[in-house]
Structure 1
């Protein structure tokens, strides 16, 4: 790992691998897929005295979201190959509530409302939340400016795309230094 300081003496005990893939479909839709694998480097006994040998997944989960070019979810498929409790896969049913939700503004809120708490699975919520980033990287029209004169949605969302930074100045000079319109509160507007 290219970090400056070497790590202290240590022992690896837990590994989580997360993978995202995006596919352009022939029907002009997009598939965004996510996979999560958790495993321990030592044997573990789970609930119900279920023995899981070292290197065997405790969690192995999959999600496929099919989205349109506006990043609205058209279909969801979710599966759990490995899970700690026998009834964990029942949480995949609630994933269907995400059909019709937009992966743009309000995505996190939609996930919390539809999959929050015992309605869903913590690990699947983490996966689906993070699926928005690879979706944005794949569905190119999300990065073009519309006729409304507003900047693309990714500008102003990180250091690299700071409206006052070199990235925007070079690639989107029309939005260099851009400031969103400030809404006046009603009391100030009356005066």
Structure 2
């Protein structure tokens, strides 16, 4: 056991020796021909003159990040934020939303199977000519609809990492958070009007 600890300590010391015992401080250099964004993000050291704090702060003041001027960002910043919901209202809206989505899903599956059953009972040509194709098309559409409703359930419950679109683009989390709050407000508003 002590050999393992000594071995780990030796590996740690060998790996981080320069950081732990090094006295030299690197000066920040910046080639003024390269835009600041590229200089910070390209991962390479730029040969150039060392910068003092005044020059560096002047460059930072002149730097405009790419998001500024972006229309979506400007719209997002200019919108009035929705007020947060208290726990009771949020729980009520989530419960109503989940219940409605599940009923819609069940209704779709029921309607599809009822339609296929009725067609096969009453129309001879359905079974002879198109039952296989229709069932395939409706089955595919039903799978996509069920996936959509599952994504909507995850949106309402706040499980954004289970939504298909968020798996490929993590930047959608902010959009989903905003959309979720909007949907929950709309659900509560609708049912509060029904009560009156």
Q: What range describes the TM-score normalised by the shorter chain of this pair?
A: under 0.3
TM-score, structure 1 length as denominator? 0.25
More helix by share: 2
Larger C-alpha radius of gyration, 1 or 2?
2
More strand by share: 1
Structure showing greater relative contact order (alpha-carbon pairs closer than 8 Å, 6 or more residues apart)? 2
